[in-house]
């Protein structure tokens, strides 16, 4: 978010928000580089993409209209991350479905953002947890697993609220 929104969200002066953002990028310069590189790539190719190659075309990335261009730039920065997360959960869901589709002891019933909800027979819970953990943590292609290790938190309860 920009300094105006940060100022508004935190109820702090604009100058304080500006300073906070400056310190953040000083502390994490690779994030600034990622943002700049993402915008430059999007301007050049007119799209952004996930690590799996799913593309989102950005027709306004080179627009003369500053508002339209700024929105396309925000998408160019966010979509590769959020889109990759969406791809990962879908890959895990397909793997889990393929491994469980004929097993009456476990049933995938719901996706909530980056969470999956299952109905599992109590006596099958350890095996189901292992299966789900494996699918979730191995959804990332091998070359990326060496850089980023996905971790899965699993909880059980009689309903979704109890599992939290």
- Find the mean pLDDT for residues 149-162: 91
pLDDT in tens, 9-20: 999 999 999 999
Rounded Cα gap, residues 8 and 17, in angstroms: 9
User: What pLDDT was estimated at residue 14?
Assistant: 95
Q: Does 145 score more than 90 pLDDT? A: no
pLDDT band at residue 114 using 50, 70 and 90 as cut-offs: confident
Q: Which two tokens stand for residue 154?
A: 């699993």
CATH 3.30.70.370 residue ranges of the chain are 86-145
Q: In CATH, what is the architecture of 3-83?
A: Orthogonal Bundle (1.10)
CB 132 within 8 A of CB 99: no
CATH class label, 86-145? alpha beta
The Cβ of residue 150 has, within 10 Å, a number of other Cβ atoms equal to: 14
């Amino acid at each position: 978010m920009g300094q105006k929104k940060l100022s508004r969200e935190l109820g702090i002066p604009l100058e304080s928000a500006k300073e906070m953002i400056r310190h953040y990028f000083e502390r994490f310069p690779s994030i600034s580089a990622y943002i700049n590189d993402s915008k430059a790539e999007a301007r050049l190719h007119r799209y952004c993409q996930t690590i799996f190659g799913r593309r989102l075309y950005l027709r306004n990335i080179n627009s003369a209209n500053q508002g339209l261009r700024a929105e396309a730039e925000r998408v160019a920065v966010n979509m590769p991350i959020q889109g990759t997360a969406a791809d990962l959960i879908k890959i895990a869901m397909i793997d889990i479905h393929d491994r469980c589709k004929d097993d009456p002891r476990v049933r995938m019933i719901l996706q909530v953002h980056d969470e999956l909800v299952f109905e599992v027979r109590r006596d099958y819970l350890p095996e189901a947890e292992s299966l789900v953990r494996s699918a979730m943590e191995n959804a990332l292609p091998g070359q990326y697993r060496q850089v980023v290790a996905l971790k899965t938190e699993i909880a059980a309860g009689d309903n979704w609220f109890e599992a939290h």
